[in-house]
């Protein structure tokens, strides 16, 4: 069956622009997670949702970052006024239900801020 999908796969933007990254979880998965992964490092937690409710956003670096999942399915991670330090791989994962279930990762969106 279809796994987690993310779009776009690559995004190049200029400093100061806003970007929206989309995640489409596995159908029926209740929990959705956003991570940021720098080259040579492990994923860094950003935020997660159960259904449409944002359960924990403590990993969002600052108030330029926000995420939503309005209908409990597709999620969007938005970065406003992008900066060069925002350049990274942004990964989404979903799990059937709850924090201790297997998380299935998507292919990621590579963001480059010039």
Partner 1 sequence: GENVEQHPSTLSVQEGDSAVIKCTYSDSASNYFPWYKQELGKGPQLIIDIRSNVGEKKDQRIAVTLNKTAKHFSLHITETQPEDSAVYFCAASLAGKSTFGDGTTLTVKP
Rg (C-alpha) for the chain, rounded Å, is 13
Q: Which is nearer to partner 1, 65 or 106 (CB)?
A: 106
Give the shortest CB-34-to-partner 1 separation in angstroms. Answer: 11
80 is a contact residue toward partner 1 (CB under 8 A)? no
Residue ranges in 81-100 that form contacts with partner 1 under rule CB under 8 A: 91, 93, 98-100
CB proximity list for 100: less than 8 A, separation 6 or greater: none
Give the shortest CB-15-to-partner 1 separation in angstroms. Answer: 27
- Dihedral pair phi/psi, residue 95, rounded to 5°: -135, 160
25 is a contact residue toward partner 1 (CB under 8 A)? no
Q: Could you write out the DSSP letters of every residue in 15-81?
A: TT--EEEEEEPPTT--EEEEEEE-TTS--EEEEEEETTEEEE-TT--STTEEEE-TTSS-EEEEE-S
Query: With CB under 8 A, what is the number of residues at the site for partner 1?
Result: 27
Among positions 82, 94, 103, 109, the unique one binding partner 1 when judged by CB under 8 A: 103
48 is a contact residue toward partner 1 (CB under 8 A)? yes
- Is residue 62 within 8 A of residue 46, CB to CB? The reply is no
Give the shortest CB-11-to-partner 1 separation in angstroms. Answer: 17
107 is a contact residue toward partner 1 (CB under 8 A)? yes
């Amino acid at each position: 069956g279809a796994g987690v999908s993310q779009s776009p796969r690559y995004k190049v933007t200029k400093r100061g622009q806003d970007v929206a990254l989309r995640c489409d979880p596995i159908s029926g998965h209740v929990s959705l997670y956003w991570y940021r992964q720098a080259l040579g490092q492990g994923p860094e937690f950003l935020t997660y949702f159960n259904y449409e409710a944002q359960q924990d956003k403590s990993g969002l670096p600052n108030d330029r970052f926000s995420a939503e999942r309005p209908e409990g399915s597709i999620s969007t991670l938005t970065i406003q006024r992008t900066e060069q330090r925002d350049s990274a791989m942004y990964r989404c994962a979903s799990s059937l239900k709850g924090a201790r279930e297997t998380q299935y990762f998507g292919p990621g969106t590579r963001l480059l801020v010039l």
